[in-house]
């Protein structure tokens, strides 16, 4: 009786060692053929394929050879599915985790045929209030700073429906960008601010700051809701933090500009 118990223990150890070795070894075409020739049923072989690591050569010629060797279509299909699964899973995970705005640079965009398109920027020259005579009738007061852009119209023309997106730098949000309505002269555009970048709206009929609402849709990504008054058309520009530099007289900065068509 004791000898029989020892024999059973020894047999179980041998079987466990064989099973563990099989579990660590990737299955191949030869493994499948070996199991089929040993008389294992399709359900057992398919279960092994699904649970064990494996890589199978499944060219047209090898499929025909396996079929002639007695491998069923059910087993062949399981082998093909196992080959495809490791490649598809990382691709699906990568697609699911990809940031749709990752490739966008920091800046202001408009949607053109479902594609976010960067609005080109222009240089802005800053001058003190008294230097720009075209604003004299609008009540410029001491402390005002005026932005001056060459050319009477932006090279970017936009029309309704207008969708705007801003990708901001670290530590900023869309409301740190300032939208201004520009006054058009014969060969340039101008807008009025106040020293320090705070827009001045009192003391004159024209208000150059345009308020908007922002909606955060992703990290550093905001869509804007613009006011209805843009429908009247005109020249506009977004002044961005870090791009406008200083508003001191004689300094330069940049603005994302566009001509809005009614």
The token duo for 45 is 């072989």
User: pLDDT per residue over 38-72, tens digit each?
Assistant: 988 999 899 888 888 888 888 888 888 899 889 99
User: How many Å apart are CA 224 and CA 164, to the nearest integer?
Assistant: 6
Report the pLDDT averaged over residues 211-221: 92
| Length of the chain (residues) | 262
Higher pLDDT, residue 234 or 132: 234
What's the pTM? 0.56
Three-state SS at 86: helix
Report the pLDDT averaged over residues 15-27: 55
How far is residue 234 CA from its own chain's centroid? 31
**By mean pLDDT, which of 74-78, 114-118, 159-163 is the weakest?**
159-163
Q: pLDDT at position 120, please?
A: 95
Report the pLDDT averaged over residues 235-255: 68
User: How many Å apart are CA 4 and CA 1, to the nearest integer?
Assistant: 5
Three-state SS at 213: strand
DSSP 95-146: HHH--TTTTPPSEEEEEETTEEEEPPEEEEEEEEGGG-GGGGGGT--TTEEE
The closest of 148, 157, 158, 159 to 122, measured between CA atoms, is 148
First to last CA, the chain: 100
Sequence spans of domains, the chain: 11-97, 107-261
Q: Map tokens 């495809």 to a residue.
A: 84
User: pLDDT per residue over 87-133, tens digit each?
Assistant: 555 656 556 667 889 899 999 999 998 899 999 999 888 776 544 44
The closest of 178, 182, 162, 160 to 225, measured between CA atoms, is 162
Q: pLDDT at position 8, please?
A: 40
Report the pLDDT averaged over residues 128-147: 50
Q: What average pLDDT does the chain have? A: 77
Q: Is 38 exposed, middle or buried (0-12, 13-18, 19+ CB in 10 A)?
A: exposed
Q: pLDDT at position 259, please?
A: 93
Q: pLDDT at position 221, please?
A: 95
Question: What is the maximum alpha-carbon separation in the chain?
Answer: 116
**By mean pLDDT, which of 107-111, 133-137, 177-181 is the weakest?**
133-137
**pLDDT category of residue 238 using cuts at 50, 70 and 90:** very high
The closest of 238, 92, 260 to 165, measured between CA atoms, is 238
Running DSSP on this structure, what letter comes out for residue 188?
E
Residues 6+ apart with CB under 8 A from 148: 124, 125, 126, 127, 132, 188, 189, 190
User: How many Å apart are CA 242 and CA 240, to the nearest integer?
Assistant: 6
């Amino acid at each position: 009786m004791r000898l029989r118990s020892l024999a059973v223990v020894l047999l179980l150890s041998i079987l466990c060692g064989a099973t563990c070795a099989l579990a660590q070894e990737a299955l191949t075409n030869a493994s499948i053929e070996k199991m089929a020739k040993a008389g294992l049923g399709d359900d057992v072989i398919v279960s092994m394929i699904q649970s064990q690591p494996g890589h199978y050569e499944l060219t047209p010629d090898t499929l025909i050879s396996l079929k002639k060797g007695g491998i069923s279509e059910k087993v062949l299909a399981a082998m093909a599915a196992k080959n495809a699964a490791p490649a598809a899973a990382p691709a699906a995970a990568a697609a699911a985790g990809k940031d749709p705005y990752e490739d966008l640079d920091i800046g202001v965009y408009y949607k053109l045929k479902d594609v976010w398109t960067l609005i080109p920027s222009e240089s802005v020259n800053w001058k003190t209030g008294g230097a720009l005579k075209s604003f004299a009738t609008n009540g410029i007061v001491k402390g005002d700073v005026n932005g001056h852009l060459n050319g009477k119209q932006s090279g970017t023309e936009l029309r309704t429906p207008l969708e705007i997106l801003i990708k901001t730098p670290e530590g900023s949000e869309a409301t740190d960008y300032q939208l201004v309505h520009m006054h058009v002269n014969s060969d340039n555009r101008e807008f009025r601010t106040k020293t320090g970048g705070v827009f001045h709206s009192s003391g004159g009929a024209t208000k150059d700051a345009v308020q908007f609402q922002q909606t955060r849709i992703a990290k550093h990504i905001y869509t804007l809701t613009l006011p209805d008054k843009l429908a009247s058309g005109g020249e506009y520009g977004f002044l961005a933090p870090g791009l406008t530099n200083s508003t001191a007289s004689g300094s330069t900065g940049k603005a994302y500009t566009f001509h809005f068509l009614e």
